[in-house]
């Protein structure tokens, strides 16, 4: 069953596409627009509300929204449409605009695969492939929309584990390059290490260390694809204790070394820029 139709995709760099522009003109969206941010120093304005953009978060703009962009950012994106009464359209109707993602790397892999496939097969698009990848993205969005709704609904209550986890997760995403231990989190957020470990596992399915390492690995993969930094420099930049530990963990999680991953993606689609905002 075809749940959605891909209309556009690519990699967007605001500074390259709109040089010298600090705020793009407002426009009304006709499609669903999903953006996964890699570098951010700006905001998105959706229906009059400003949203600060953070790396490894996603923005979902729905049809009929009015939007513009402030300052600079880079993102992978897809634009797609769905029938209003379709399964995923109903689920995503009330989804948050901004998603905090634990699995940003998985989203990025799928988006890059769609972008690469469309670029290579521009005149002979395999709709079965793009449909399958779109369905995969929609399923992940539906799951993450529910998680983000729950966190937003409960984050104002300090009696709930959602509040500290949301705050600590945001702190880790911002300070992943620094040394972050349970003791550091306990001192900063005034919870015991045992409590932090317990609520993290209950809500994310990961320990704080596993969550932090996932963020670091996502950042490392992004740098392997988009920079000329050495493997050692990337491991240091992303907060790993040593290059050997970084290489070992990367190989354990993904099944190949950082060097092999970089060679495999030498022709990655990050060099393709498509105008949007």
- The pLDDT value recorded for residue 208 is 93
Average pLDDT, the chain: 84
Contacts for 98 with CB less than 8 Å, ≥ 6 apart? 51, 57, 58, 59, 148
Pair 192, 149 in one domain: no
Q: Angle 205-206-212 (CA atoms, 0-180°, nearest 5)? A: 145
Q: Is residue 277 part of a domain?
A: no
Q: How far from 119 is each of 34, 36, 114, CA to CA, in Å?
A: 18, 19, 9
Q: Is residue 53 part of a domain?
A: yes
| DSSP 8-state symbol, 62 | P
Pair 13, 120 in one domain: yes
Pair 128, 20 in one domain: yes
Pair 21, 42 in one domain: yes
Tell me the DSSP string of 195-213: HHHHHHHHHHSS-HHHHHH
- The pLDDT value recorded for residue 147 is 65
pLDDT exceeds cutoff 80 at 31: yes
Say what the pTM is.
0.62
Pair 138, 14 in one domain: yes
Residue 1 burial (CB count, 10 A)? 6
Question: Which of these three, 122, 154, 186, is where a domain ends?
Answer: 154
Pair 97, 73 in one domain: yes
Pair 35, 138 in one domain: yes
Question: Which of these three, 109, 125, 154, is where a domain ends?
Answer: 154
Pair 101, 179 in one domain: no
Dump pLDDT digits (tens) for 220-252. Answer: 988 888 788 999 999 999 999 999 999 999 999
Q: Is residue 37 part of a domain?
A: yes
Pair 142, 88 in one domain: yes
Pair 31, 167 in one domain: no
Question: Which of these three, 154, 184, 200, is where a domain ends?
Answer: 154
- The pLDDT value recorded for residue 127 is 62
Asked whether the beta carbons of 163 and 157 are under 8 A apart, the reply is yes
pLDDT exceeds cutoff 50 at 47: yes
Q: Is residue 275 part of a domain?
A: no
- The pLDDT value recorded for residue 126 is 55
Higher pLDDT, 149 or 219: 219
Indicate which CATH number applies to the domain containing 188. Answer: 1.10.10.60
Dump pLDDT digits (tens) for 86-103. Answer: 889 988 888 889 877 767
Q: Is residue 200 part of a domain?
A: yes
Pair 47, 145 in one domain: yes
- The pLDDT value recorded for residue 276 is 41
- pLDDT classification of 60: cutoffs 50, 70, 90: very high
**Number of domains forming the structure of the chain:** 2
Q: Is residue 185 part of a domain?
A: yes
Pair 136, 63 in one domain: yes
Q: Is residue 273 part of a domain?
A: no
Dump pLDDT digits (tens) for 159-209. Answer: 444 557 778 888 898 899 999 999 999 999 888 899 888 888 877 778 999
- Which domain, by its residues, includes 57? 5-154
């Amino acid at each position: 069953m075809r749940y959605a139709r891909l209309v556009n995709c690519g990699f967007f760099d605001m500074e390259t596409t709109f040089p010298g522009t600090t705020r793009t003109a407002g426009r009304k969206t006709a499609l669903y627009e999903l953006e996964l941010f890699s570098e951010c120093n700006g905001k998105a304005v959706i229906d009059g509300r400003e949203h600060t953009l953070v790396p490894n978060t996603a923005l979902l703009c729905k049809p009929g929204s009015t939007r513009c962009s402030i300052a600079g950012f880079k993102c992978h994106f897809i634009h797609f449409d769905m029938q209003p009464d379709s399964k995923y359209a109903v689920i995503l109707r009330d989804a948050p605009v901004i998603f905090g993602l634990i699995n940003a790397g998985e989203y990025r892999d799928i988006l890059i695969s769609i972008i690469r496939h469309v670029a290579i097969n521009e005149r002979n698009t395999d709709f079965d492939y793009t449909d399958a990848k779109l369905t995969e993205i929609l399923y992940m969005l539906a799951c993450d929309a529910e998680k983000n709704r729950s966190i937003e609904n409960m984050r104002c209550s300090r009696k709930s584990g959602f509040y500290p986890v949301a705050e600590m997760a945001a702190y880790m995403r911002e300070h992943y390059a620094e040394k972050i231990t349970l003791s550091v989190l306990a001192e900063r957020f005034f919870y015991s290490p045992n409590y932090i470990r317990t609520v993290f596992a209950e809500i994310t399915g990961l320990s704080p260390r596993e969550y932090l390492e996932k963020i670091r690995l996502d950042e490392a993969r992004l740098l392997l694809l988009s920079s000329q930094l050495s493997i050692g420099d990337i491991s240091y930049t992303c907060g790993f204790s040593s290059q050997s530990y970084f290489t070992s963990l990367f190989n354990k999680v993904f099944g190949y070394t950082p060097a092999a991953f970089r060679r495999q993606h030498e022709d990655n689609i990050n060099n393709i820029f498509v105008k949007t905002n």
